[in-house]
């Protein structure tokens, strides 16, 4: 599953030129659905994808079941995340 997810992430970024983290995760989710969607299957992945635009001082991210943290000087900031993995549940893909 890990290699499949890495391949889909690479495909989204390098082949499809998707730049926004949430759109990359949506692409990977759709590829997982079409590739391994079988009755009773419940595989998925947790992850954080961060895009840093250093020229403009901006950061965008997408997070599935993990919260990214920023450490600035001596302070720790925890960012929001969706509290579920990208996976196929009993009623379909989440």
In angstroms, the Cα distances linking 52 to 2, 83, 90 are: 24, 23, 36
What is the reported pLDDT for 32? 82
What is the reported pLDDT for 24? 92
Question: Is residue 94 a part of any domain in this protein?
Answer: no
DSSP letter string, the chain: -HHHHHHHHHIIIIIS---SHHHHHHHHHHHHHHHH--TT---EE-EEEEEEETTTTEEEEEEES---EEEETTEEEEPP-BSS-EEEETTEE-
Which residue range is the domain that position 8 belongs to? 2-86
The number of domains in the chain is 1
What is the reported pLDDT for 85? 57
Lowest mean pLDDT among 5-19, 40-54, 57-71: 40-54
CB 61 within 8 A of CB 49: yes
- Whole-number average pLDDT of the chain: 81
Instruction: Give this prediction's pTM.
Output: 0.75
What is the reported pLDDT for 12? 96
Question: Is residue 47 a part of any domain in this protein?
Answer: yes
Mean pLDDT of 6-24: 94
């Amino acid at each position: 599953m890990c290699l499949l997810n890495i391949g889909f992430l690479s495909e989204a970024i390098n082949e499809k030129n998707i730049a926004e983290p949430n759109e990359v995760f949506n692409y990977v989710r759709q590829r997982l659905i079409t590739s391994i969607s079988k009755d009773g299957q419940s595989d998925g992945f947790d992850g954080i994808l961060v895009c840093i635009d250093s020229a403009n001082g901006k950061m965008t991210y997408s997070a599935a079941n993990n919260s990214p943290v920023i450490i600035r000087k001596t302070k720790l900031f925890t960012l929001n995340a969706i509290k579920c993995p990208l996976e196929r549940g009993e009623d379909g893909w989440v």
